């Protein structure tokens, strides 16, 4: 039986304009997402009823205001998508959430579909703006001025799994996985120790181990308890400690290895003996060691390199999954994970066409050596930013891919397909197909429900409390046999 590794990601995009004087990121972000023509003309609300970001996994509710925009603000802020994902504005950034996926390869496909969607929005918006007001989007995590914006991962877990066990088992993993998941960064931020170049864009911005915040006093372990599913059965582990990756392979390995580690924890296979003496110090130290040879101190007094810590998790994964029925998806992840760690331990440069921080480091080092420049040259910081430009004809990552220096991990055809079609094996199929087939009758949607208005003065809510239901296998026939939304609702209730 295949193991379902239910995953979703959220990417906040950096946004700026050619003319920065008077630039307003909030209105600009709204302008961008409202130019996904012709789909942007649809008026579908985002249903906030079951969302409560103030519930803490440690068992309490913090004080604060829940987001409840007016109807018109809601239409402007949110664009539920035909692929089951969501395009919206969060704070001062345009953001894209993938639909729920059951394997890391699909996450790569739907993240790249999100880049394509954002690019379409940007191109459409820029066609009606003056040249000096053109907008630019970047899939990165820092503006170089001391501000960071997020890339968040979400993993479905069982409610019965102790949150304390999750923290104990996952902290060393999350601190050290940047060695293959970091997207690289010139310089430092947040008054951290200086460095010419570091592995992670986000490492400098974490100031506490455990907390609910995502904007200030950022924690390595986020405690948001907002399952977007049946709260008695599920929890959603919300990870904010990762970088946004341009590399398809880095995204795949990041979410794949994390999903396997969490699956073990969720099934009582806790990873112990790797607890870090000082996780906050360690996450910054690892980010600054490009050799990957320096060690971090464990609570038990031992010193491990980040590669050794990751290898310990991989060994636990083999020990655990070897006892189960063989799953090709799981073993593909572990194979790539092991090969990557071996190369990082032997010679990280072997991965300078696959891992973002190494791809970028090779690019910038070659340029600096050729031009005789030092790392404090502003040109290198500009190239760092340009690496994350989502325009295929301008972004340095896409230039490297076009020149054959970076190899794609998924097909372009699958990305095009995912832009307009939902995954078939999660509830995203039902959500996306409702929007695709009956857009005028869908009144509102959320991760856990779809609401219909079929003109009889009653709003009909279809709950989606189990993320592994609502799949093509379960509801595909209903869509094939229903000519109208009323037909669909009648068949579902029959």
Q: Which residues are known catalytic residues?
A: 90
CA-based R_g, the chain, Å: 22
- Rounded to whole angstroms, how far apart are CA atoms 329 and 468? 17
Cis ω for the linkage preceding 38 (within 30 of 0)? yes
Phi-psi category of residue 133: left, alpha or beta, with phi > 0 → left and psi -120 to 50 → alpha = alpha
**Which letter, b or e, does each residue of 165-196 get, where b requires 16 or more Cβ atoms within 10 Å of its Cβ?**
ebbbbbbbbbbbbbbbbbbbbbbbbeeeeebe
User: Distance between CA 300 and CA 297 in Å, rounded?
Assistant: 8
Q: Give the pair of three-digit tokens for residue 197.
A: 């170049």
């Amino acid at each position: 039986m295949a193991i379902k590794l239910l995953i979703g990601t959220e990417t906040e995009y950096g946004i700026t304009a050619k003319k920065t004087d008077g630039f307003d990121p909030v209105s600009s972000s709204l302008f961008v997402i409202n130019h996904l023509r012709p789909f942007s003309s649809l008026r579908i609300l985002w249903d906030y009823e079951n969302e409560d970001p103030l519930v803490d996994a440690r068992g309490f509710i913090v004080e604060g205001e829940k987001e409840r925009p007016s109807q018109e603000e809601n239409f402007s802020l949110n664009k539920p998508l035909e692929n089951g994902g969501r395009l919206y504005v969060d704070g001062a950034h345009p953001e894209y959430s993938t639909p729920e996926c059951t394997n890391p390869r699909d996450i790569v496909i739907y993240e790249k579909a999100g880049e394509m969607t954002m690019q379409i929005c940007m191109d459409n918006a820029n066609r009606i703006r003056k040249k000096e007001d053109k907008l630019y989007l970047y899939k990165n995590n820092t503006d170089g001025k001391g501000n960071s914006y997020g890339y968040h991962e979400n993993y479905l877990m069982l409610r019965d799994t102790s949150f304390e066990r999750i923290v104990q088992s996952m902290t060393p993993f999350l601190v050290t996985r940047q060695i293959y998941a970091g997207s690289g960064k010139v310089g430092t931020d947040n008054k951290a120790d200086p460095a010419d170049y570091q592995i992670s864009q986000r490492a400098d911005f974490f100031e506490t181990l455990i907390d609910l915040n995502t904007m200030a006093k950022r924690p390595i372990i986020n405690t948001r308890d907002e399952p977007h599913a049946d709260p008695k059965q599920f929890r959603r582990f919300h990870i904010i400690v990762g970088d946004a990756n341009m590399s398809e392979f880095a995204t795949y390995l990041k979410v794949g290895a994390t999903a396997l580690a969490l699956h073990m924890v969720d099934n009582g296979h806790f990873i112990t003996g790797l607890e870090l003496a000082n996780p906050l110090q360690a996450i910054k130290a690892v980010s600054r060691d490009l050799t990957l040879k320096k060690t971090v101190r464990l609570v038990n007094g031992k010193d491990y390199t980040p590669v050794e810590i990751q290898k310990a998790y991989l060994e636990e994964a083999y020990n655990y999954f070897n006892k189960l029925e063989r799953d090709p998806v799981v073993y593909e992840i572990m194979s790539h994970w092991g090969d990557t760690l071996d190369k990082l331990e032997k010679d990280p440069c072997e991965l300078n066409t696959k891992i973002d921080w190494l791809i970028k480091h090779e690019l910038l080092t070659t340029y600096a050596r050729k031009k005789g420049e030092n790392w404090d040259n502003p040109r290198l910081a500009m190239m760092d930013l340009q690496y994350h430009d989502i325009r295929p004809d301008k972004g340095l990552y896409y230039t490297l891919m076009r020149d054959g220096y970076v190899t794609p991990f998924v097909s372009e055809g699958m990305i095009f397909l995912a832009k307009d079609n939902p995954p078939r094996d999660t509830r995203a199929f039902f959500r996306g197909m409702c929007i695709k087939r009956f857009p005028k009758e869908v009144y509102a949607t959320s991760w856990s429900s779809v609401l219909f208005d079929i003109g009889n003065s009653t709003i009909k809510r279809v709950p989606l409390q189990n993320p592994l239901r609502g799949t093509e296998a379960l509801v595909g026939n209903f869509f094939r046999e229903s000519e109208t939304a009323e037909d669909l609702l009648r068949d579902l209730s029959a």
